[in-house]
Chains A and B, each alone.
Chain A
Amino acid sequence: MPDDALLEIDDLCVAYDGSNALNGVSLRIGKGELICVVGANGAGKTSLIRSIAGIVPSSRGSVRINGVEISRRPPWDICEMGIAQVAEGRQIFSALSVEDNLLIGGSLKRARHDLANTLDSVYQLFGRLRERRDQLAGTLSGGEQQMLAIGRAIMSKPEIMMFDEPSIGLSPALTDVMFGVVKSLNEQGITVLLVEQNVAKSLAMSSRGYVLENGSVVLHGSSRDLLENPDVQRAYLGL
Chain B
Amino acid sequence: MLSLWLNVIAGGVLIGLVYGLVALGLTIIFGVMRVVNFAHGEMVVFGIYIGYWTVRIWDVPIFLAAAVAAVVMFVFGYLLETLVVKRFVNRPHHYQFIVFIGLSLLFSGVLLMSFGPDPRPTASQLSFQTVSVGPLTLDWARIQAAATAGLLIAALGAYLKYSAFGRSLRGAANNRLGGLVVGLNIPRVYAVTFGIGAACAGVAGALISPLFDAQPYLAVDFTLLAFVTVIVGGLGSFGGALLGGLTIGVAEAIAALMFTPSMKTALPYALLIIILILRPRGFFGAKDI
Selected interface stretch from A1-9, A91-99, A216-224 = A91-99
A104 touches B168 (CB 8 A): yes
Residue contact B182 to A94, C-beta cutoff 8 Å: no
Q: Once the chains bind, are B168 and A107 in contact (CB under 8 Å)?
A: yes
Q: What is the 8 Å Cβ interface bit string for chain A, positions 33-48, against chain B (1 contact, 0 not)?
A: 0000000000000000
Chain B residues with a Cβ closer than 8 Å to the other chain, count? 17
From A75-83, A171-179, A186-194, A204-212, give the one contacting chain B. Answer: A75-83
Q: Most chain-B CB neighbours within 10 Å: which of A78, A80, A93?
A: A93
Tell me whether B180 and A94 are in contact (CB under 8 A): no
Task: Say yes or no: is B150 at the interface (Cβ < 8 Å to chain A).
Answer: no
Give B237 Cβ to nearest chain A Cβ, in Å. Answer: 11
State A101–B184 Cα separation when bound (angstroms): 12
B175 within 8 A of partner (CB) = yes
Q: Name the contact of A104 in the complex, choosing from B167, B177, B185, B186 (C-beta under 8 A).
A: B167
- Would you call B184 and A76 a contact (CB within 8 A)? yes
Decide yes or no whether A166 CB sits under 8 A from chain B.
Answer: no
Question: Provided the pairs A107-B164, A152-B182 are in contact, do residues A93 and B171 lie with their beta carbons within 8 angstroms?
Answer: yes
Instruction: Please count the residue pairs between chain A and chain B whose beta carbons lie under 8 angstroms apart in the complex.
Output: 67
Contact of A55 among B175, B180, B288 (CB under 8 A): B180
Q: How far is the CA of A75 from the CA of B182 in the complex (A)?
A: 8
Is A25 at the interface (CB under 8 A from chain B)? no
- Say yes or no: B167 contacts A107, CB within 8 Å: yes
B183 beta carbon closer than 8 Å to chain A: yes
Q: Mark A64-80, 1 if CB is under 8 A from B, else 0.
A: 00000000001110111
Q: A55-B177, A87-B177, A91-B177 are in contact. Are A100 and B171 (CB under 8 A)?
A: yes
Interface string of B165-196 (1 = CB under 8 A from A): 00110110011011011111110000000000
Chain B residues in the interface with A (C-beta under 8 A): 164, 167-168, 170-171, 174-175, 177-178, 180-186, 288
Across the A-B interface, the 6 shortest Cβ-Cβ residue pairs: A79-B183, A91-B178, A95-B288, A76-B185, A76-B183, A95-B174
Interface pairs (21), CB distance under 8 Å = A75-B181, A76-B180, A76-B183, A79-B182, A80-B183, A84-B182, A91-B178, A92-B178, A93-B171, A93-B174, A93-B178, A94-B174, A95-B288, A103-B164, A103-B167, A104-B168, A104-B171, A107-B168, A152-B182, A153-B182, A156-B183
